């Protein structure tokens, strides 16, 4: 699992919300009129060589009216705090500052779990003075309280609720609050599906917990199922449009098939929990007619084998 890529997507898709959450003080003056763009890292790769770090996310913040100088945020996700190096981060920030000709750089490190014992400051000094004093903004998700963010209107905060600290017996509630935030704060069906998977990955509900979710949150579980059906139609239409643009009938059929397979898998997971690898293979290999037939059976089936027999 690429945690780096998961969080890179999150930071790029929801840049304003991410900066407001992970760098609140520095982002206080950033409103919706401010332009935030990911820096194209290809321009750094050749010049930085081995020091280039592809999965860091530099975000350039610009004020179109020119009232403030552009600000560069360097966000880094660390899955394992033991691998974090403050020297490496300082080196990288200095390189970016030089390449982009700016001294307005804000380093932010997102620790996936906790950050106990991690260096927070780097000072280079002699007997008389300090010559380099480097710090960064730190956000250790495993040290944040779920209670403090469960009703947040910041979408990023809601999506990462499963990464926060909460009693084990409230896991299903945490999942429900994350999903509720996604469906309320994000209106794009494609992103809803994308970040429903994000929540699934970090909540990691087992079959019993999924059954508990369907029992305790029946209306929301049903809404998610209907959403999957709507996305099915959208996926088919998107496949058709892509095929027309490419001038290839094969593109139409492929898009329809992918949309149907995606929705069927989502419906099965919502109703029956984690799918065995064999079931996923059968869905991938099934033709369009079979996928449609299985999708109809989901509505009345009580067991997984009733759908795929």
Prediction pTM value: 0.72
| Rounded Cα–Cα distance for residues 276 and 12 (Å) | 32
The average pLDDT across 220-233 equals 68
| E strand or H helix at 110 | strand 105-111
Residue 247, pLDDT score = 46
Q: What is the mean pLDDT of the chain?
A: 84
pLDDT digits (tens, 9 = 90+) for 91-116: 889 988 988 899 999 999 999 999 98
Query: Residue 129: pLDDT above 80?
Result: yes
Ordered DSSP codes for 142-193 = GGSBHHHHTT-S-HHHHHTGGGSB--GGGHHHHHHHHHHHHHHH---HHHHH
The ranges assigned to domains in the chain are 3-143, 205-308
């Amino acid at each position: 699992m690429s945690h780096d890529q998961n969080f890179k997507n999150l930071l790029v898709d929801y840049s304003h919300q991410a900066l407001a959450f992970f760098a609140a003080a520095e982002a206080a003056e950033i409103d919706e009129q401010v332009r935030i763009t990911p820096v194209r890292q290809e321009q750094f790769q050749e010049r930085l060589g081995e020091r280039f770090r592809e999965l860091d996310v530099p975000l350039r913040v610009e004020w179109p009216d020119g009232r403030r100088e552009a600000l560069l945020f360097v966000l880094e996700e660390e899955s394992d705090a033991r691998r974090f190096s403050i020297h490496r981060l300082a080196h990288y920030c200095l390189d970016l500052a030089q390449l982009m000709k700016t001294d307005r750089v804000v380093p932010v490190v997102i620790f996936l779990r906790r950050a106990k014992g991690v260096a927070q400051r780097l000072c280079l000094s002699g007997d008389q003075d300090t010559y380099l004093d480097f710090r960064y903004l730190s956000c250790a998700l495993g040290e944040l309280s779920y209670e403090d963010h469960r009703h947040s209107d910041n979408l990023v905060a809601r999506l990462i609720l499963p990464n926060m600290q909460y009693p084990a017996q409230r896991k299903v509630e945490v999942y429900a609050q994350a999903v509720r935030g996604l469906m309320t704060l994000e209106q794009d069906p494609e992103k809803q599906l994308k970040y429903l998977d994000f929540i699934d990955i970090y909540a990691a509900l087992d079959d019993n917990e999924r059954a508990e979710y369907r029992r305790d949150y029946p209306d929301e579980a049903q809404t998610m199922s209907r959403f999957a059906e709507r996305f099915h139609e959208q996926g088919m239409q998107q496949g058709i449009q892509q095929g027309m643009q490419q001038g290839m009938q094969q593109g139409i059929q492929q898009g329809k098939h992918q949309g149907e397979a995606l929705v069927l898998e989502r419906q099965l997971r919502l109703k029956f929990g984690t799918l065995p690898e064999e079931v996923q293979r059968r869905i991938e290999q099934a033709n369009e007619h079979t996928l449609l037939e299985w999708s109809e059976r989901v509505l009345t089936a009580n067991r997984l084998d009733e759908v795929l027999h």
